[in-house]
Amino acid sequence: MQKLALLEGEVKHYDWGGVTFIPSLLQVENPQMKPFAEYWMGVHPAAKCRLLLDKGDNVLLRDFINADPEALLGPAVKRSFGQMPYLLKVLDVKDMLSIQVHPSKTQAALDFETENQKGVPLNAPDRNYKDANHKPELMVALSPFYLLHGFKPEKKLVQTLEAVPELHVFLPVFKEEGYKGLYKMAMELPQEEVNELLQPLINRIIPLYLQEKLDKVSEDFWAARAAQTFIQPGSIDRGIFSIYFFNIVHLKTGEAIFQDAGVPHAYLEGYNVEIMASSDNVLRGGLTAKHIDTAELLKHTKCEATHPQVISNTKGKERVYPAPVPDFELRSYDLKTGDEITLQPSTAEIFLLTDGEVELSAADSRVVLKSGTIAAAAFPGAVIKVLAGASSRLFRATVPVELINI
């Protein structure tokens, strides 16, 4: 069985995506300026991710692995997960994504089964749980990247609530009932009251936004952008509250951040590589036209202070991005022209090239990654030689060694 092959992921054309970055990576034309939001690589049922085999055949990655999971995953990963446990993506965030949280693994399994028993179709627009898995995520910025990440520490949040006149109403609630009371109030306010609170704020900040007088580290900048993007007649999106409640994090190119179950977050702008458990469970709390279930959102949200832990962009040929979960591990290699490294997969792995050109070779095959052909998969038993034909950045998605070596 072939141990190394090119991989073709699937593009997701969500409305919030950009129109140039992913087409440029894939070397495809986009004359209709369609949004290319995400590029999925993995075995998730919603990913038509294919292996391009040497004989000209192509097969879904999940079907290829299912033909011999013990050999292609390795015994430990097969025993723990049964399939490739991670999903790798490239994202181009042009417009802000929804405020969202992801459930824990235990709770996802329970709630997925509950919706199944209720007979809610998997593709129903009001379905909350698409699978029985958790969805911890790690992202690495491929450009300057902005996101919301968890609730501000208490002192900072109080300062914000005091500084913004329209948010004064939340101060006594936060002081008496903490983060949970604050967020419950914001999520459950009647829409008329949401409009009354936010309309004066919007009237004040949009002129400043249009005059380019607001900075991207300011909550007002993103609130104004959200107001122009998501407001429907007579209904101001309550997700704007979260912009002021949450940390705004600015990642420089190469920096990373991990987001665990229950941490509320939203991507605001930029390009990234993202790895996560193989799941599509998302509970939304605003800044979206998609389904919002306030009760489910509050049930899963960690209503507590979050101190963002940015993983810095250190120098060196190999970089490991720590994530405290067994489902995935992400590494990157910054290679100069002529650099050569040798890798020995112990489970099914995905390689993703974001810059440059590299040749991957094993005993049974050879592939070249470059613009237009950016991904490959390798399996246990292969010894992969990586040769850089130009200055390159190569990402490697795998499973933590501690699990593989069980």
Looking at the fold, whether 336 and 310 belong to one and the same domain comes out as no
pLDDT tens string 288-314: 878 888 888 999 999 999 999 999 977
- Tens digit of each residue's pLDDT (9 = 90 or more) over 75-95: 999 999 999 999 999 999 999
**Beta bridge partner(s), residue 375:** 7, 352
The answer to whether residue 80 is domain-embedded is no
Identify residue 23 by its one-letter amino acid code: P
Say if residue 203 is in the same domain as residue 283: yes
Residues 164 and 203 in one domain: yes
- Rounded to an integer, the average pLDDT of 262-273 is 97
Is the model's pLDDT at 162 over the cut of 90? yes
Q: Domain with 338 in it: what CATH number?
A: 2.60.120.10
Per the structure block, which two tokens stand in for 212? Answer: 């380019």
20 falls within a domain: no
Of the three residues 314, 341, 373, the one that is the final residue of a domain is 314
Q: What is the mean pLDDT of residues 276-298?
A: 88
Does residue 46 belong to any structural domain of this protein?
Answer: no
- Secondary structure (DSSP) of 193-228: HHHHHHHHHHHHHHHHHHTT---TTSHHHHHHHHHH
For residue 384, is it within any domain?
A: yes
Cβ pair 186, 239 in contact under 8 A: no
Question: Which has more confidence, 374 or 281?
Answer: 374
pLDDT tens-digit series, residues 195-235: 999 999 999 999 999 999 999 999 999 999 999 998 788 89
Query: 377, exposed or middle or buried, with CB in 10 Å at 0-12, 13-18, 19+?
Result: buried
Question: What does the DSSP assignment read for 114-163?
Answer: HHHHTT--TT-TT---SSS----EEEEESS-EEEEEEEPPHHHHHHHHHH
Verify that 278 and 337 share a domain, yes or no. no
Q: Which helix (H) or strand (E) holds 393?
A: strand 392-398
Tokens of 90: 């490239």
Q: 342 and 289 in one domain?
A: no
Domain boundary among 249, 280, 314: 314
Residues 91-136 pLDDT 10s: 999 999 999 999 999 999 999 999 999 999 988 988 999 899 999 9
* In a domain? residue 43: no
The number of domains in the chain is 2
Asked if residue 123 belongs to a domain, the reply is yes
With a pLDDT cut of 70, the percent of the chain lying above it is 100
pLDDT tier at 373, thresholds 50, 70, 90: very high
| φ and ψ of 281, to 5 deg | -85, 115
The CATH number of residue 165's host domain is 2.60.120
4-21 burial, b if ≥16 CB within 10 A, otherwise e? Answer: bbbbbbebbebebbbeeb
Instruction: Report if residue 2 sits inside a domain.
Output: no
Q: Are residues 308 and 350 in the same domain?
A: no
Of the listed 50, 225, 238, 284, which one is catalytic?
A: 284
Whether 406 shows a pLDDT value over 70: the answer reads: no
Domain identity same for 307 and 326: no
CB 334 within 8 A of CB 317: yes
- Same domain for 226 and 277, yes or no, is yes
Q: Are 328 and 274 part of one and the same domain?
A: no
Same-domain pairing of 199 and 254: yes
Report helix, strand or coil for 259. Answer: strand
**DSSP state string for 355-379:** ES-EEEE-SS-EEEEBTTB-EEEE-
Per-residue pLDDT for 331 more than 70?
A: yes
Contact yes or no for 272/137 (Cβ under 8 A): no
Can you give the residue range of the structural domain that contains 343? 318-404
The pLDDT > 90 percentage for the chain reads 87
Q: What is the mean pLDDT of residues 320-325?
A: 94
Q: Which residue has the tokens 């993995």?
A: 42
Residue with token string 């604050």: 182
CA 195 to CA 189: how far, in whole Å?
A: 10
Number of Cα atoms under 13 Å in the Cβ half of residue 210: 8
Phi, psi of 135, rounded to the nearest 5 degrees: -145, 55
Q: Cα–Cα distance between 51 and 333 in angstroms, integer?
A: 23
pLDDT one-digit tens code per residue, 341-369: 999 999 999 999 999 999 999 987 999 99
Mean pLDDT, range 255-271, rounded to an integer: 96
Residues 336 and 189 in one domain: no
**Does the active-site annotation cover 238?**
no
pLDDT tens for 19-60 read 999 999 999 999 999 999 999 999 999 899 999 998 888 999
Total residue count of the chain as it appears in this document = 406
- For 121, counting Cβ atoms within 10 Å of its Cβ (0-12 exposed, 13-18 middle, 19+ buried), the class is exposed
The DSSP result for 264-305, as a single string, is -EEEEEEEEEEEEES----EE-SSSSS---HHHHHHH---SB
With a CB cutoff of 8 Å and minimum separation 6, the contacts of 233 are none
304 in the same domain as 349: no
Q: What is the mean pLDDT of residues 177-194?
A: 96
Nearest CA to 226 among 259, 258, 262, 201?
Answer: 201
In a domain? residue 150: yes
Instruction: List CB contacts of 9: < 8 A, sequence separation 6 or more.
Output: 39, 40, 41, 47, 49, 375
With CA atoms as reference, report the closest residue to 307 among 242, 258, 377.
Answer: 258
Q: From 264, 296, 314, give the residue that closes a domain.
A: 314
